Amino acid sequence: MSVGTSIDTRKLDEIMESYDYNKSNLIAILQKVQEVYRYLPEDAMIYIGTKMEGLSPATVFGVATFYAQFSLEPKGKYEIRVCDGTACHVRGSMPVLNAIRNKLNLKEGQVTSDNGLFSLEIVSCLGACGLAPVCVVNNKVYPQMTSDAISTILDTLIKEEA
Amino acid sequence: MGLNINILEEQKKAQEHIKEQGLRVLVCAGTGCVANGSLKVIEKFRELGANVSTLTDYDKMTIVPTGCHGFCEQGVLVILPDKHVTYVKVKEADVEEIFESHIKNGVPVERLLYKDPKTGEHVHKNDDINFYAKQTRTALKNCGKINAESVEEAIAVRGYEALAKVIEENNPDGVIDTIVKSGLRGRGGGGFPTGMKWKFTAANRGGKSYVVCNGDEGDPGAFMDRSVMEGDPHKLLEGMAIAGFAVGADEAYIYVRAEYPLAIKRLRKAIADAEDKNLLGKNIMGSDFSFTIHIKEGAGAFVCGEETALIASIEGERGMPRPKPPFPANKGLFGRPTLINNVETLANVPLIILNGAEWFAQMGCETSKGTKTFALTGEVNNTGLIEVPMGTTLREIIFDIGGGIRGGKKFKAVQIGGPSGGCLTEEHLDIPMDYDSLIKAGAMVGSGGLVVMAEDTCMVEVARFFMNFTKNESCGKCVPCREGTKNMLKILEKIVAGKGELSDLDLLEELANTVKDGSLCGLGKTAPNPVLSTLKYFRDEYIAHIVDKKCPAGVCTAMKKVVINPDLCKGCTKCARTCPVGAIEGTVKNPHHIDQSKCIKCEACLKNCPFKAIALE
């Protein structure tokens, strides 16, 4: 099976090695791969599926598509997660989500902004229900969001990147 | 078994060490407070206190970053336990005042004290804060009181004493008997008697077996397990080790949601620290008992909270449930006997061993013993994490501890147990909250999420919201759940959009019962609960959506109309020019009119009207 040139197989070997090529660590391995590429490139999945005993590319693809955390397309430099758990939903997470979509010109179903800077994801519960509604940008939790507040945060990030 | 560590001596040493810390300033460093800036508050306190040697009554102070206090709404929380004071909503800029005024000169800072929403007065003593006064904290006992990242502080509050006791007494069956007698039931939702589970697993002693801790707290609106893992990780580890000793397992996994990075970090540190002290790992405290704990991070799948799906996930596979039997107690992780318990369940274990089964069994009510943590959220004044004896009424929880409904609104319902639970209404305010009473009322304790809803929450929309969640999270293995949730969602979406028919309600009910009876695992079996319970208690709201095409709570936008009030409209034409679809007609200086068949309810006109003549009705 041919593997594209865009993938650094040494890096993948290193990751698999650190988990003893043990197939029960497949999820952890994929998490590490996603840390490197900010998504799971198809070639990386094929490589892992071929290289590890007891796995096939199909199994790897099956696991990758089962869990919400894995993305098959590149995520942005800033990963925005909007919590739409019950508490956040009741306290108005949808207006916040819409404000982000408008600001970043994201169409329904579009994950990553055209310039590749931001990606948007809806998550079910971050366990910070007392601060509802919450947004997370690259693991920093922003409490009690409103559409205005999130716009200001995004403006700051956009300015920093300009 | 003889031990080479005297845990009581270690305990004494750790307590002495804490005394030497001078005035302890507890600053909450749980996920909620960190989001509100507690790390900066901690830094500022440290900066101020570094070179000061004279304080009122103390020669120095120590800043202690703790786990969650539960009162997330009021974060950042700063507590001076020796002075019995809790400061709320503390910002970095307030630290200097607390330090100068209270810590150095003994004068409390009035404006930062908690204000009782009922009386409007500042509360001076911790014990008088209603939110805490009505709680009984056992699983959460140390959360917020100790440095969550210090094994010494855990030891100082009797950490690992219970483990030392069970190893020394060397009577695994006696441990199981104690748990059986205590009446402890699984805190993850099902409520299965914990002692029985231990017994079933212990029956397979002799070969390799595992303990698994389910920390995949997936119910939206629940965060009690996160708080235990972040705030008192050693208690969980100790509980697991005791379980391992009792059932004859030497290896364990904690499965934690990837959404809880702080919990993962603290657990990793706690495991390493405990192994350093020989409280975990090989030959614990010099005995024959070895117990190794690994952490497995989840990757975002609600169904992994189901025990067999969780096992599949630890094995590195798609997290799909497996048919039972065989039960995990006989054939679980890697095909070996496995004991699976939830975080809160295991956190109760050390206390039961220390204080005895009778102590635990005298809390709570007839069939549900002990305490239960609840995550109280939604339209309630005091949101946060609470722990109360089983059987406490909803009224006490919402109106005493929770301080009543936000903004003086009227209570409508509470959703308990997340997407697997049901809703309870005003008529249930006085039923005891225990496993069996709740099942009878068509709900369940679940993991303990309590989302309070007020008059302006639409129950049909809530049912749609939960169904959307379970539809997305259905793993797709069995047909009733995969197809049933999809079709129930379709019907609910139709009703919310104002296109429902009365016959949809019968179909909805029929589908709900099929999914409930026919699904393989707990996810599918409980997925219809929100629909069934809203249909039972709020059928009139469904009918209003279907027959009158109205949303009584005023939430469902599809039912709303944007209208111009002819008395207020001055005919400035601004709205007609703003409307993206040309739905507004009218001539200059005459009242305008919206053609409802063209209107897309974007509300652009409403926002732009200079005379506030346009409204959503």
CA distance B374 to A59: 39
Q: What is the mean pLDDT of chain A?
A: 90
Say yes or no: A96 and A57 in one domain: no
Residues of A with CB under 8 A from a CB of B: 22-28, 30-31, 59, 62-63, 66-70, 84-87, 89-91, 123-132, 134, 139-143
Chain A residues near residue B302 by CB distance under 8 angstroms? 124
Residues A88 and A144 occupy one common structural domain: yes
**Which structural domain range is residue A37 located in?**
9-66
**Residue A103 and residue A151 in one domain:** yes
Put simply, the answer to whether A31 touches B32 (Cβ < 8 Å) is no
CATH number of the domain enclosing A40? 1.10.10
Helix axes of B479-496 and B502-518: crossing angle, nearest 10 degrees: 160
Tell whether A154 is covered by a domain: yes
Q: Is A4 within a domain?
A: no
Q: Nearest 5°: phi and psi at A128?
A: -115, 45
- Where does a domain end: A66, A93, A115? A66
pLDDT tens string B428-458: 999 999 999 998 888 888 888 898 999 989 9
Shortest CA gap B370–chain A (Å)? 24
Test the A interface: residue of B294, B450, B451 with most A CBs within 10 Å: B451
Residues A31 and A93 reside in one and the same domain: no
Question: Same structural domain for residues A57 and A83?
Answer: no
Question: For residue B277, is pLDDT > 90?
Answer: yes
CB B332 within 8 A of CB B310: no
Q: Assign A56 a pLDDT band (cuts: 50, 70, 90).
A: very high
Q: What is the pLDDT of residues A92-141, one digit of tens each?
A: 898 899 999 999 999 888 889 988 899 999 888 887 887 889 999 988 88
What H or E segment, with its residue span, contains residue B236?
Answer: helix B233-247
Residues A112 and A153 in one domain: yes
Give domain limits for chain B: 7-133, 151-360, 371-454, 459-546, 561-616
Q: Do A153 and A115 share a structural domain?
A: yes
Q: Which of B227, B317, B457 to mutate to test the interface with A (most CBs of A within 10 A)?
A: B317
Number of CB pairs < 8 Å for A and B? 137
CA distances from B103 to B51, B82, B99, B447 (A): 14, 11, 5, 40
In a shared domain, residues A61 and A104: no
The residue among B79, B138, B177 whose CA lies nearest residue B344 is: B138
Which residues, in sequence order, are CB contacts of B181 under 8 Å at separation 6+? B195, B357, B358, B361
- Domain contains A31: yes
Task: Tell me how far apart the alpha carbons of residues B300 and B418 are, in angstroms, rounded to a whole number.
Answer: 17
Residue B80: both structure tokens together: 């001076």
Q: Which two tokens stand for residue B344?
A: 């809160």
Tell me the DSSP string of chain A: ----TTS-HHHHHHHHHHTTT-GGGHHHHHHHHHHHHSS--HHHHHHHHHHSTT--HHHHHHHHHHSTT--SSPPPSEEEEEE-SHHHHHTTHHHHHHHHHHHHTPPTT--B-TTSSEEEEEES--S-GGG-S-EEETTEEE-S--HHHHHHHHHHHHHHH-
- With a CB cutoff of 8 Å and minimum separation 6, the contacts of B462 are B415, B423, B453, B530, B534
CATH no. of B151-360: 3.40.50.11540
Q: Could you tell me if A40 and A62 lie in one domain?
A: yes
Which positions in chain A touch B217 (Cβ < 8 Å)?
127
CA-based nearest residue in chain B for residue A30: B299
Q: Tell me which of A121, A124, A142 to substitute to probe the interface with B (most B C-beta atoms closer than 10 Å).
A: A124
CATH assignment, B561-616: 3.30.70.20
B71 contacts in A (CB within 8 Å)?
130
- What percent of chain B is modeled with pLDDT above 90? 76
CA–CA separation, A82 vs A145, rounded Å? 10
**Half-sphere exposure of residue B564, counting CA atoms within 13 Å on the CB side?**
28
The residue among A65, A28, A75 whose CA lies nearest residue B258 is A28
- Cβ–Cβ under 8 Å, residues A146 and A161: no
Assess contact for B488 and B467: CB atoms under 8 A. Answer: yes
- Same fold for the pair B7-133 and B459-546: no
Assigned domain for A20 exists = yes
Q: A72 lies in a domain?
A: no
What pLDDT, on a 0 to 100 scale, did the predictor assign at position B53?
66
Mean pLDDT of chain B: 93
Q: What is the mean pLDDT of residues B17-30?
A: 92
- Read off the CATH number of the domain in which A140 is found: 3.40.30.10
Which among A66, A92, A108 is the end of a domain? Answer: A66
Helix or strand (DSSP H, E) at B211: strand B210-215
Report yes or no on A3 lying in a domain: no
Helix (H) or strand (E) holding B607: helix B604-608
User: Do the beta carbons of residue B90 and residue B76 sit within 8 Å?
Assistant: yes
Q: How many domains does chain A have?
A: 2
Percent of chain A with pLDDT over 70: 97
The verdict on residue A135 lying in a domain is yes
Contact list, A127 vs chain B (CB under 8 Å): 31, 217, 222-223, 226, 257, 259-260
CA atoms within 13 A on the CB side of B556: 27
- Best to test chain A binding among B28, B36, B311, B409 (most A CBs inside 10 Å): B36
The residue out of A39, A66, A93 marking a domain boundary is: A66
Euclidean distance between the first and the last CA atom of chain A, given in angstroms as a whole number: 42
Q: What is the pLDDT of residue A5?
A: 52
Class of domain B7-133: alpha beta
Cβ within 8 Å, pair B35-A141 = yes
Residue-wise burial string across B484-511, b where 16 or more C-beta atoms lie within 10 A, e elsewhere = bbebbbebbebbbebebeeebbeebbeb
Instruction: Name the minimum distance, in Å, from the CA of B39 to any CA of chain A.
Output: 12
Min distance B148 CA to chain A CA atoms (Å): 18
B301 with A66: Cβ contact below 8 A: yes
| ipTM at complex level | 0.88
**Between chains, do A130 and B75 touch, taking CB under 8 Å as contact?**
yes
Q: Are residues A62 and A82 in the same domain?
A: no
| CATH architecture of the domain with residue range B459-546 | Up-down Bundle (1.20)
Do A90 and A152 share a domain, yes or no? yes
| Amino acid code (one letter) for B163 | L
**Domain B371-454, CATH:** 3.10.20.600
Instruction: Say if residue A41 is in the same domain as residue A96.
Output: no
Subunit contact A126:B259, Cβ cutoff 8 A? yes
Beta bridge partners of A141: A136
Q: How far apart are CA B413 and CA B535, in angstroms?
A: 13
pLDDT band of B1, cuts 50, 70, 90:
low
Alpha carbon separation from B265 to A35, B262, B270 (Å, rounded): 17, 5, 9
